Structure formats: C-alpha cells, structure tokens
Structure 1
Amino acid sequence: MATEVEAPQSTRRLDVLARPKQLPPTYREDRRSVYWLDKPPLMPGSDGTTKFACTDWVAAISNHKPIYSRYVSDRPSPKSVVSKAAQNAEANERVAFLAEPKDWARHFTLHRPVMTHVTKGAQQATASERIDFLAKPKTYQPLKIKESWDYDINEWDNEISSAAKNARCSERLEALAEPKALHNHFRFAKPIRWNTEDSTLKAIATLRLQQLARPKSRGKNEQYDPYKVSSAAIHARPTPRIDELCAPIPRKMRQKKP
C-alpha cells in the first residue's frame, strides 16, 4: 500500500490562503435600524423617537450662512420715488454725447428688398454684339461614332494621316518609354516543380536521424492515456523553496481598507 506523504511542520502557503479574511480591530457590526421594528423603541423622551447627538463642529457646520451686514432687502415696490432734483436735472455735454446713438459705418448698406425695382433704362436696354456672341451656347463637332461592325482596321487606317504614320518620337520620349530595369539582386520566383538532384534522391539518413525519427515506444501498453494524471503527481507536495518563491513580494502586500 502506498504511504501518504506527511505535510511539513511549518505552515504551508495553501493553508494560509485557505484561511478566511480577518476583520479589522475597528470593525463594528451594523446595527438594525430602529425604524423597521414592529413598535417604537423605548428611548428617553415624551414622543419615543430616537435622539441624535452631534459634536460642536458638526453643529457649527449645519448652521445656515449668516446674512451680510450691509445686505439690503428687496424694495417694497418696483416704483421708486424720484426726487425733484433728479426730475429737474439737466445732462451735461459729456452725458449728452454718450447718449447719442452710434453712427453707421461708411460702407454700410441696408438690406435690399426681395422685389427690386427695375428702371426703364434697364427694361429698354439692348445687348451689344459682344454680349450676343457670349450668350450663344458653345457648339461641338459631332463625334465620329461608328457601329459595332464598322470597327475594322482597314476602315480606320484610311482616316489616319500620313504625317501621323511617319511620326518619330524624340530621344527623351524613347528614354521615358523604356521599362524600368530590374534590381541587381532581383531573383525570379522559383517554379512550382523543380528538378531534384540525384544525390538528394539517393541520400540515406544517418543513424542519429533515424533515432530521432523513431516514435516513442510505449512497450506493450497499447491503451496508454496521455491525459491521465498519476497518483504520485496528485499527492506531490512542493518543497519549502517553491513555497518561498510562490509568496508575493512583501513591499507589494497591503491590507484592504475596511
């Protein structure tokens, strides 16, 4: 019978992680609200409600903002009383100058009405010869469109002039018409099928290649399952060094805030 492997005396990492999270020392369990009880709680007071107590600082913060010392409330009426001196006052030259409306710009023009008025001169005007010439639509020569059966070399050859047939291009055009040369190190793509050398066809693998090419022997165990985990692997325990390497870095460990 296989003997069980005893756990080391020191605390394992798995046991430490399996422990529940400890509550902080300042943790206080939430109390049930007194407003969800079937009857009012027995609290000191005539009405039996909960009495709240706050600190002096909280009471000072909860007070409303005092009114400004020079604050003047709204007037009792929108009609204010105007004194006789204000009624009989006359504006000086500076106030009268500032009260004048701003002049329009020199290039300002009012919006034109939707319907403009055409003068009699414009109604009885006659266009000049130049305007009549420009007003005429542009005319184009009819395109030489042929039917599909007329597209023949002999038919088009008669329409080509002798000057166009005997034309010769310049040296610059010949240089531009030349195709771009291939790079010095350019290589064409290999053909899909290429000839295999006789030495390659007659080559024999070495003893080392034959050993590497041979599949792994399982002996007489033809029902070998590669996904089966052995019992030794299941009951294996890491060494103390592996536990030490699995532990997180101390400087990166911090306790969560409650």
Structure 2
Amino acid sequence: MATTRIDLLAKPKKNFQENLPRASVYWLDEPPQQPDSNGCYVLSPRLARLSHSRELNRSFKSDRPSPIWVVSESALKAVASNRVIQLAEAKPPSREWLPDRSVYSEVSEQAKHSVPSARVRQLAQPKMRKDTEQQSTQTDGSSFISEATLKAVASPRVEVLANPKEEHHSFHHDRHVIWKVPEASQCLAVTEHTLKLATPKVRRALFEGYDPYHVSEAAKQATASARVTELSTPLPRKTRPKKV
C-alpha cells in the first residue's frame, strides 16, 4: 500500500535530542558516554579541558608590592640631556595674563591730595527734578500733575480709544444664584404623571431578592422596527460563509 501525504503528515516529529542532556552551554561534538553505576555521565575530554581555569600569561606582572621601589645604580648616576631639562621646566604663563586684582583698591598719594574743580563738584551733585520736589510736598499721596497736562485737549482718535469696548449683542451675563420665581409657576398644580416621573426608581439589593437579569413581559413581546433590524445586521464585508 502506497504511503499517502496524509500518512506522512500524521507521523510525529522525531526528537533528535532524546537521551542527550544539554546542561552545558557548549554544544557537544559527540554524544556523552553512558552513565556509570551511580547514574552520572562522564565528561568528555573537551569539557574537561574547558573546565580548567585559564593560565596567566608568562609576561604578566602582579601589582607592585610597595610604593617604594629600588632604583638602579645606572638611573642614579644618569645625566639628563638638554632636551629633558627643557621639557622638565614648568610652562610659563602667557604674557597677557594678569594676577587677580585685590579687593581693596590702592589710592595713590596724588589722588589723596588732589582738589576737585568746580565742574567736578557740580557733576557730583544728584540731579533734582521739579516733579520730584513738588510730588514730595503732596500729603494725600496723589501724584502731581503739571499745568500743561491739565490744559491738554485729547484728539478725536484718543477719545475713541478711551471708550470702553461694548459687549456683544448675543452675550449673556452669568445668572444670579437666586432668581425670582413667577407667580404662575408658584400656583401651578402638578399632575399625577409628573409626580410619578419625579419619584426616583427604587431597586432592591441582591440579598433582598433583586434579579438583575430579569426580563419583563413587555420586553419579551416587543417587536423590533425595520431600522433596528437593519442596524443589527452585520455588514456583508465582515461576514463569511461557515466552512462545512
């Protein structure tokens, strides 16, 4: 009997790692040996070599044992060349460098004995303003206004700009918290249906026998309109026939 495609696909996938533990991160070149009497696998020569610690390089030197080390005799008797002496000198500061100025200024003797001229004394006096002098005489705290300012006449453009901006004709101010109720509303008689609608709906708790999944008889006998039926129908592009 010939093997069909269905028979091929029905066969389970072969487990190539059966009885081959992969506890190490290294991939083994060959399967490990059979376990001994204690049930432990024997390491291969490759894993045994990788488990050894890495040896230090032959030219490796450990940290200096002491901050004081021995200086050889030749280094003690060495004479530095002119180039080495030149490089050992400290770098001089720039010619344009100036040291920090002292906090206390030094006044020369000539400046101490100098006599200011009349012009220097005049410039040293604080500037006095008429507005400041007259404003200081005001006792009520109001600002001083000059005579020229009092007699000034505003131009038509300034008068137009001085007018406050008018409110929009559709603007409504905030309603007052307390407003007057008209007499007609005070004498109005409320109907029974209005009282029924104004009464809050009372629902019992679950432990009092309330069933949130109860459907009323009116809802069971309701008939959906054509528009509701149309809206509840799924779109054709989102539906597909059921596979048999």
TM-score normalized by structure 2? 0.43
Answer 1 or 2: higher relative contact order, Cα 8 Å, separation at least 6. Answer: 1
